[in-house]
Amino acid sequence: MKGRIEVKRVELSDAESVLALYRSIIEENLPYIMNTPVPSTEQQIEFISGFITRRDPFFVAKLNGEVIGMASGKKADMGRMEFSFSIHRAHRRKGLGAKLHQRIEQEAKELGCFELFAMVDLGNPSRPFYAKRGYVADMEIHSFISFTGISLKAVTYRKALSP
Ligand SMILES: CC(C)(COP(=O)(O)OP(=O)(O)OC[C@H]1O[C@@H](n2cnc3c(N)ncnc32)[C@H](O)[C@@H]1OP(=O)(O)O)[C@@H](O)C(=O)NCCC(=O)NCCS
């Protein structure tokens, strides 16, 4: 698909488009993702408002007005921030995830965070992404059963941030 991709801070008006991306990822039935039920538009608006109110970073990548990638950071305890991102399957391996990650990392530093972390399933093929960007995986493995009954085994990837 032709057009310019822009990366911007999420707005409430992006809720439907963010939801469409989320739905497409759930429909992939990836065995290494902690799928949660697709929210309603109202719930999605509330979810986005939470990020805006808390001043947690949430960026979207848009192509012709449509959200094709999203990345968010949620402040946790003791100056840590949890990172999560998803790119539409048609747009993967083109550097978009890296671009969004860079925005979150920059903002985490500006907010004074000293660590970014992400919970990643052992079977997720994108694990090299984290290693390449200076994350280190914990030894501890966390086991989960997702609401769809999928069994997940995740590790925490951590990256220390320097100001
Ligand atoms: C993980 C995800 C967001 C990566 O986004 P992306 O735009 O494809 O990533 P990039 O193109 O920026 O990748 C940068 C580098 O990370 C590594 N990487 C990313 N995805 C990879 C994969 N599937 N397999 C191996 N390496 C991968 C590669 O080193 C890649 O560089 P290269 O393409 O030059 O080899 C995307 O695959 C996705 O949405 N997956 C489904 C949801 C998910 O798993 N989210 C993360 C867990 S919460």
- Whose Cα sits closest to atom 15 in ligand 1? 129
- In sign, the C-alpha dihedral spanning 4, 102, 35, 51 is negative
Residue 150 CA to residue 71 CA, distance in Å, equals 24
> What is residue 62's DSSP assignment?
E
Q: Residue 104 in 3-state DSSP?
A: helix
- Look at residue 144 in the predicted model and tell me its pLDDT: 86
Ligand 1 contacts CB of residue 93 (under 6 A): yes
> What is residue 158's DSSP assignment?
E
Q: pLDDT class for 88, splitting at 50, 70, 90?
A: very high
Ligand 1 contacts CB of residue 92 (under 6 A): yes
In contact, 87 and 122? CB cutoff 8 Å: no
Q: What is the pLDDT of residues 21-75, one digit of tens each?
A: 999 999 999 999 987 889 999 999 999 999 999 999 999 999 999 999 999 999 9
Domain ranges of the chain: 5-160
In contact, 131 and 142? CB cutoff 8 Å: no
Closest ligand 1 atom number to CA of residue 84: 48
5-160 classified as CATH 3.40.50.620: no
